[in-house]
Amino acid sequence: MKNKNRNNTSQKKRWTKIIALPAQMMRFIWELITEKLEFSIRFRLSLSYIRILLGAMITAGIGVIVIFGALTIYDRTSQDYIALSQALNNDNIEFSDVRKYSEEYKTPVLIYDYDEKLIFATEPDLAVYGYKRSIGIIRTDENFYVAVNRTQLDSGFPNKVVIYTDIKDDIQKIIIISKVVLLVFGVVLFFSIISIAFSGRGLFQPIKDMTQTVKDISERNLNLRLNVSGSKNELKELALTFNEMMNRIEDYYNRQKQFVSDASHELRTPIAVVQGYADMLDRWGKNDKEILQESIDAIKNESENMKELIDKLLFLARHDKDTFVFQKEEFSLSEMLLEIAKETQIIDSSHKIKIDVHEEVPIYADRNRIKQAVRILIDNAIKYTPSNGEIIISLENEVNDIALSIRDTGIGMTKEELRHIFDRFYRSDQSRTKDGGGHGLGLAIAKIIILGHNGMIRVKSKVGEGSEFIIFLRKN
């Protein structure tokens, strides 16, 4: 008994393995295809579509065949039952009538008593397959029967009746239908594969074009952009975003190029001056005290100038690289302004410096940087204001903010000049020709410092009347 059970379970296992084999094979082949070979997105998409289509078709095909088969067999067994029911459907089954109908319709009938003991059989050989409680399938050498126990369905029978319907012909029909379904689905699948394979072509062309354009972009043609006219939806969005990014990169690249060229240009002049004096000293100045002194003064002056320029360049470079940090602390802004005014007066006595600061104003900021910014504005006011002109420094103290103004009575600026004064290396034509003009970096640096403190700079100016730079800063 135990052995029989074990045999049954091992047989079941074997069958499950055999049934699962095609699915495992398919999965293995699929994994091999996707893993070992690197396919394009189009190919992968097509493969997924084909897989879905194949799955749908197999399900539909099996469904059609099963439903058709079940309906045919149900129909056949019903027909046999209806034909035989006349002989069966009364209190006393007429075995002669049963035999007559059974032979006429080639439908064996086996009748059992209520103890399931065979009492009548049109084909006694079938009894060896046992009593069928509801439905059973019996395969003999020549026939393929579906045995239906009609007793449960029609409890009016005095005995238990099992009707055997031969479905050999129906099986043949089902096989033919299966072949037709297979053929039709095969043809549909073939054409679907072809159309799926070709459908992706146009879809991926914009991606190919984009890839080509991106490949063509180099530092020499940073102005190349993706074509957004044809692409749609997500691709258009991607192309627009990429183009915007390229605009920023190109702009940044051009500004850097301009910066490097301006910086080298600015450095060339002092180096040329130093070189000129060194040559002069070499030729004639060794024994000429006057030339010696002049050269030393000029070289000192130019190297100071160069140092200043390099400091400014380093400041800007650090800011651009984002490695710049403000060292904030609490200090008195009013005190700092008085200190700057004093220092300025010592250096420059040709201008009247007025300071309109009456109360103590503490502020939380980077003292050295704020001083640097204010110095830049005061130095400019001095540079661009003729002798005897006035420079007025005033401080307005609000609850949370301050407004620091540096006003001069100098040459002033045109509207066009005002638009550019914060650009790196910008100098108005007038200041370019002027002696002692800077490098055009002062205001760019002042702006970085003030914006870095979340502040603002506002400029008012009129040609010939003077200018006013107002710095707005939060106190903390």
Q: How far apart are CA 431 and CA 410, in angstroms?
A: 12
Q: Are 166 and 107 in contact (CB under 8 A)?
A: yes
Distance from CA of residue 148 to its chain's centroid?
64
Sketch the per residue contact string, 417 through 436, with ligand ADP: x for CB under 6 A, - otherwise: x---x----xxx--x-----
Sketch the per residue contact string, 129 through 148, with ligand ADP: x for CB under 6 A, - otherwise: --------------------
Nearer to ligand ADP, 98 or 411 (CB): 411
CB under 8 A, 24+ apart: contacts of 240-244 = 242/210, 242/214
Nearer to ligand ADP, 216 or 416 (CB): 416
Q: How many residues bind ligand ADP (CB under 6 A)?
A: 25
Q: Are 231 and 205 in contact (CB under 8 A)?
A: no
Please list, in sequence order, all residues whose beta carbon lies within 8 angstroms of the beta carbon of residue 404, skipping any fewer than 6 positions away: 333, 337, 374, 393, 394, 395, 396, 470, 471, 473
Question: Can you tell me which residue has the tokens 């239906």?
Answer: 148
| DSSP string over 58-83 | HHHHHHHHHHHHHHHHHHHHHHHHHH
- DSSP lists the bridge partners of residue 392 as 354, 407
Q: How far apart are CA 39 and CA 32, in angstroms?
A: 12
Residue type, 203: L
CB of 294 to ligand ADP, least distance (A): 25
Task: Say whether residue 344 binds ligand ADP (CB under 6 A).
Answer: no
Interface stretch with ligand ADP, choices 121-129, 201-209, 245-253, 442-450 (CB under 6 A): 442-450
Q: Are 372 and 332 in contact (CB under 8 A)?
A: no
Among 181, 443, 448, 473, binds ligand ADP (CB under 6 A): 443
Q: Are 378 and 393 in contact (CB under 8 A)?
A: yes
Q: How far apart are CA 246 and CA 98, in angstroms?
A: 93
Among 132, 160, 351, 439, binds ligand ADP (CB under 6 A): 439
Which residue minimizes CB distance to ligand ADP?
Answer: 438
CB of 435 to ligand ADP, least distance (A): 12
376-415 residues in contact with ligand ADP (CB under 6 A) are 376, 380-381, 383-384, 408, 410-413
- DSSP lists the bridge partners of residue 41 as none
CB of 433 to ligand ADP, least distance (A): 11
CB of 224 to ligand ADP, least distance (A): 34
Task: Say whether residue 467 binds ligand ADP (CB under 6 A).
Answer: yes
Task: Say whether residue 305 binds ligand ADP (CB under 6 A).
Answer: no
Sketch the per residue contact string, 358 through 377, with ligand ADP: x for CB under 6 A, - otherwise: ------------------x-
Task: Say whether residue 438 binds ligand ADP (CB under 6 A).
Answer: yes
Nearer to ligand ADP, 123 or 423 (CB): 423
CB of 418 to ligand ADP, least distance (A): 9
Nearer to ligand ADP, 109 or 393 (CB): 393
Among 69, 285, 442, 455, binds ligand ADP (CB under 6 A): 442
CB of 368 to ligand ADP, least distance (A): 18
Rg (CA), the chain: 51
Conformation bin of residue 117: beta by default, left when phi > 0, alpha when psi is -120 to 50: beta
Nearer to ligand ADP, 440 or 455 (CB): 440
Nearest to 259 by CA among 467, 22, 426, 79: 426
Q: What is the dihedral of CA 120, 122, 125, 130, to 10 degrees?
A: -50
Nearer to ligand ADP, 337 or 444 (CB): 444
Helix (H) or strand (E) holding 397: strand 390-397
CB of 358 to ligand ADP, least distance (A): 24
Q: Are 408 and 391 in contact (CB under 8 A)?
A: yes
CB under 8 A, 24+ apart: contacts of 228-232 = 230/206, 231/206
CB of 411 to ligand ADP, least distance (A): 5
CB of 247 to ligand ADP, least distance (A): 27
Nearer to ligand ADP, 210 or 373 (CB): 373
Task: Say whether residue 270 binds ligand ADP (CB under 6 A).
Answer: no
- Name the site residues for ligand ADP (rule: CB under 6 A): 376, 380-381, 383-384, 408, 410-413, 417, 421, 426-428, 431, 437-444, 467
